[in-house]
């Protein structure tokens, strides 16, 4: 076998950087792309988003790096102690004179590694309460709109549509997304969060969500075990029915969902009632209500008839009370006439007494009433002004007079054209 010619002659003097560049070229050319199986160790997650770790087996160790732009689909799988198969490019790192693999895909090495990882994540999320029964929301009995998170192709969405159409036709809104592969978990979580952001204006907001895919291996169903999907399901305000895989398949979203269905078709059945059964129930309920009303009327009619038979004679009983009412009206009429007569007599008595106290009786005995021009009573001679106009009221009428001269013990008044003083009457203005 002919040996390849050396890249560097024995007498060539190279710089460290030149040698490193030659080695890098040789390594990357000889190992353009490789798959390596080993156990993850020494995981370091940089603030830049890059992940550094090592792969080891019983006899060797190799450094590995997963750049931020390439690790989105498997970053959550990079954990110490997990056996994995990585695919990537072998290169060198001149600053430390070592070689490393730049990882662009990573998957657990076998079902055992996946189950171990699944159990650890399940314990972690359960400890946070994401699987608690108290968090479960009831599934609406008759939703107006069903949201579906699944692949737009394949049998799953067709089965759901057909089952809903057979049971109770209603609106279905599909959020298409991949259900397998490196990008599936992020897209599924995005769909769940997107449905929850619906405001019901541009698109109807679903009353329930179905997250579904068909059967497959544990690797195929792994996106539904991803932490980002489980957290999105637990956070959803819209009730979620999970329908991933077959009846025997279990993923972590099943624990976070509000209800688990064995299959996508089963999820459609759990989300909708049967319209024909509802119509039958309504018809039966209507008949039972009618029978109950008729029975109630009949029972009350029988009861009333029985009560009527217990009354001796309803007409005679009423007439007896009418007779009593007539007697009371007659007595009331007589008592009212007697009361009127008594009140009239009392009023006449008071009028007579009032008349006796009237000043008109005093005037009839010869006295007179003197008032000034304003109609005010003049009861003293001192209150009269010279030449003041006065009125004197007698029993048979009144006359106007004018006060004459200064005040005196006996004052004369001018009546008409002449003055007189009647000694028989007395002095009207004396103190």
- Containing domain of residue 344, as a range? 311-357
In a domain, 346, yes or no: yes
- Residues 103 and 36 placed together within one structural domain of the fold: yes
Residue 288 CA to residue 285 CA, distance in Å, equals: 5
CATH number of residue 211's parent domain: 3.40.50.261
- Residues 46 and 73 placed together within one structural domain of the fold: yes
Q: Which of 46, 77, 109 is the last residue of a domain?
A: 109
Of 392, 382, 379, nearest in space to 420 by CA: 392
pLDDT at 358: 74
- Is 70 exceeded by the pLDDT of residue 148? yes
In a domain, 287, yes or no: no
Q: Which two tokens stand for residue 17?
A: 């950087």
**Sheet of 208-213, strand order:** 171-176, 145-150, 208-213, 240-244, 259-260
- Is 80 exceeded by the pLDDT of residue 163? yes
DSSP string covering 376-421: -B---GGGPPTT-EEEEEETTEEEEEEE-SS--SS--EEETTEEE-
- Report, as an integer, the average pLDDT of 323-339: 85
Under 8 Å CB-to-CB from 138, ≥6 apart: which residues? 239, 258
- Report, as an integer, the average pLDDT of 201-210: 90
- Residues 135 and 242 placed together within one structural domain of the fold: yes
Residue 80 CA to residue 66 CA, distance in Å, equals: 15
Residue 196 CA to residue 205 CA, distance in Å, equals: 8
Query: Sign of torsion, CA 214 215 218 219?
Result: negative
- Residues 210 and 195 placed together within one structural domain of the fold: yes
- Residues 339 and 227 placed together within one structural domain of the fold: no
Burial class of 244 by CB neighbour count within 10 A (0 to 12, 13 to 18, 19+): buried
Least confident of 1-15, 128-142, 183-197, 367-381: 1-15
- Average predicted confidence (pLDDT) for the chain: 84
- Report, as an integer, the average pLDDT of 3-26: 74
- Is 60 exceeded by the pLDDT of residue 431? no
pLDDT at 345: 86
- Residues 105 and 36 placed together within one structural domain of the fold: yes
Label residue 9 by pLDDT band (50, 70, 90): low
Of 7, 3, 5, 32, nearest in space to 19 by CA: 7
- Report, as an integer, the average pLDDT of 315-336: 83
pLDDT at 429: 43
Under 8 Å CB-to-CB from 329, ≥6 apart: which residues? none
The number of distinct structural domains making up the chain is 4
Give the DSSP H/E element, type plus range, for residue 145: strand 145-150
Residue 151 CA to residue 214 CA, distance in Å, equals: 10
Percent of the chain with pLDDT over 70: 90
Residue 192 CA to residue 212 CA, distance in Å, equals: 12
In a domain, 318, yes or no: yes
Q: Which of 52, 81, 109 is the last residue of a domain?
A: 109
pLDDT at 53: 94
Query: Sign of torsion, CA 307 313 315 321?
Result: negative
| More confident site: 197 or 426 | 197
- Residues 104 and 140 placed together within one structural domain of the fold: no
- Is 60 exceeded by the pLDDT of residue 172? yes
Label residue 363 by pLDDT band (50, 70, 90): confident
Contact between residue 77 and residue 84 where contact means Cβ atoms under 8 Å apart: yes
Q: Which two tokens stand for residue 66?
A: 């997963």
In a domain, 141, yes or no: yes
Mode of pairing for the β-strands spanning 208-213 and 145-150: parallel
In a domain, 286, yes or no: no
| More confident site: 183 or 123 | 123
Q: Which two tokens stand for residue 70?
A: 């390439």
- Is 90 exceeded by the pLDDT of residue 33? no
pLDDT at 137: 96
Under 8 Å CB-to-CB from 128, ≥6 apart: which residues? none
- Residues 105 and 136 placed together within one structural domain of the fold: no
Helices 227-235 and 111-127: crossing angle in degrees, nearest 10, is 30
Contact between residue 225 and residue 180 where contact means Cβ atoms under 8 Å apart: no
In a domain, 1, yes or no: no
- Residues 233 and 95 placed together within one structural domain of the fold: no
In a domain, 86, yes or no: yes
| More confident site: 421 or 332 | 332
In a domain, 129, yes or no: yes
Of 171, 175, 169, 174, nearest in space to 145 by CA: 171
Label residue 196 by pLDDT band (50, 70, 90): very high
- Residues 142 and 245 placed together within one structural domain of the fold: yes
CATH number of residue 57's parent domain: 2.40.50.140
Q: Residue 238's CB: how many other CB atoms inside 10 A? A: 18
Residue 407 CA to residue 92 CA, distance in Å, equals: 150
Label residue 260 by pLDDT band (50, 70, 90): very high
- Residues 36 and 143 placed together within one structural domain of the fold: no
Q: Which of 80, 109, 138 is the last residue of a domain?
A: 109
Of 144, 138, 151, nearest in space to 180 by CA: 151
Residue 66 CA to residue 75 CA, distance in Å, equals: 8
Q: Which two tokens stand for residue 419?
A: 């003055």
List, for residues 270-292, the tens digit of each pLDDT value. Answer: 999 887 777 778 888 888 898 89
Residue 369 CA to residue 63 CA, distance in Å, equals: 141
- Residues 40 and 154 placed together within one structural domain of the fold: no
Query: Sign of torsion, CA 259 262 265 269?
Result: negative
């Amino acid at each position: 076998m002919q040996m390849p010619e050396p890249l560097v002659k024995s007498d060539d003097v190279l710089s460290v950087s030149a040698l490193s560049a030659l080695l890098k070229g040789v390594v990357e050319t000889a190992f353009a792309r490789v798959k390596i199986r080993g156990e993850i160790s020494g995981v370091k997650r940089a603030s830049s988003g890059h992940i550094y770790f090592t792969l080891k087996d019983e006899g060797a160790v190799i450094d590995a790096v997963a750049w931020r732009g390439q690790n989105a689909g498997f970053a959550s799988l990079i954990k110490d102690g997990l056996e994995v198969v990585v695919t990537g490019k072998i290169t060198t790192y001149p600053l430390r004179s070592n070689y490393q693999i730049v990882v662009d895909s990573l998957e657990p090495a076998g079902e055992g590694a996946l189950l171990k990882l699944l159990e650890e994540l399940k314990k972690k999320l359960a400890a946070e309460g994401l699987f608690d029964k108290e968090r479960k929301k009831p599934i609406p009995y008759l939703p107006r709109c069903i949201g579906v998170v699944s692949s737009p192709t394949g049998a799953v969405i067709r089965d759901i549509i057909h089952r809903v159409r057979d049971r109770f036709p209603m609106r279905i809104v599909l959020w298409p997304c991949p259900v397998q592969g490196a990008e599936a978990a992020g897209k599924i979580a995005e769909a769940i969060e997107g449905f929850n952001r619906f405001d019901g204006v541009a698109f109807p907001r679903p009353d329930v969500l179905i997250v579904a895919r068909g059967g497959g291996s544990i690797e195929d169903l792994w996106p539904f075990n991803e932490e980002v999907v489980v957290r999105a399901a637990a956070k959803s305000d819209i009730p979620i029915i999970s329908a991933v895989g077959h009846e025997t398949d279990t993923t972590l979203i099943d624990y976070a969902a509000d209800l688990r269905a064995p299959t996508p078709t089963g999820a459609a059945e759990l989300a909708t009632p049967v319209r024909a059964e509802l119509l039958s129930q309504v018809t039966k309920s209507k008949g039972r209500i009618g029978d109950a009303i008729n029975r109630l009327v009949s029972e009350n009619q029988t009861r009333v008839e029985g009560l009527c038979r217990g009354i001796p004679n309803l007409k005679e009983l009423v007439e007896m009370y009418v007779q009593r009412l007539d007697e009371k009206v007659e007595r009331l009429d007589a008592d009212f006439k007697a009361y009127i007569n008594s009140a009239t007599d009392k009023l006449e008595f008071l009028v007579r007494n009032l008349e006796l106290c009237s000043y008109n009786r005093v005037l009839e005995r010869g006295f007179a009433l003197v008032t000034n021009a304003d109609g005010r009573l003049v009861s003293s001679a001192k209150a009269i002004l010279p030449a003041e106009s006065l009125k004197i009221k007698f029993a048979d009428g009144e006359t106007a007079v004018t006060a004459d001269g200064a005040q005196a013990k006996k004052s004369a008044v001018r009546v008409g054209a002449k003055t007189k003083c009647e000694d028989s009457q007395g002095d009207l203005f004396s103190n």
